[in-house]
Amino acid sequence: MGILQETVISLQDAANDLPSGMNPGKRIHFSTLWRWALRGCLAVDGRRVRLEAVRLGGRWLTSKEALQRFSDALTHVQADEPETRTPTRRKRDVSAARKKLGKMGI
């Protein structure tokens, strides 16, 4: 099933409907959604997630369901998956573990 069988909206309409996270009171720019569709965003697990969109004539279209899938892919965390640690966090955890083992005499 493609996005044309879903609740289709233009990227411009989607941009007008979504709030900006960085500038309260402002909206996300059309070009942001366009970049999400063309380049995608990196998820926590390192995957590149793209917003599903199609070009029909001179307009870029997506769907409300595609926006939901995009946000789910970027925010979804499985309960049984281990937490992804950054290299800095990993170094801190190793240092704390070594300190703890040192106190135990190991």
Dump pLDDT digits (tens) for 84-105. 778 888 899 899 999 998 988 8
- What total of structural domains would you count in the chain? 1
Compute the average pLDDT of residues 40-57.
88
Q: What is the mean pLDDT of the chain?
A: 85
Residue type, position 72, single letter: D
Q: Which domain holds residue 8?
A: 3-104
DSSP notation for 6-62:
S-EEEHHHHHHHSBPSSSTT-B--HHHHHHHHHT-EE-TTS-EE----EEETTEEEE
Q: Residue 74's pLDDT band (boundaries 50, 70, 90)? A: confident
- Using CB atoms within 10 Å of the CB of residue 58, give its burial: 0 to 12 exposed, 13 to 18 middle, 19+ buried: exposed
Q: Residue 35's pLDDT band (boundaries 50, 70, 90)? A: very high
Closest CA to 52 of 31, 32, 39, 67: 67
Please state the separation of Cα 61 from the chain's center in Å.
19
Structure confidence at residue 9 (pLDDT): 92
pTM score: 0.65
Q: Residue 27's pLDDT band (boundaries 50, 70, 90)? A: confident
Q: For residues 12 and 60, give the distance between their C-alpha atoms in angstroms, rounded to a whole number.
A: 8
Considering only residues 29 and 45, tell me which one the structure prediction assigns the higher pLDDT.
29
Considering only residues 51 and 47, tell me which one the structure prediction assigns the higher pLDDT.
51
Structure confidence at residue 78 (pLDDT): 55
Q: How would you label 40-50 residue by residue, b for 16+ Cβ within 10 Å and e otherwise?
A: beeeeeeeebe
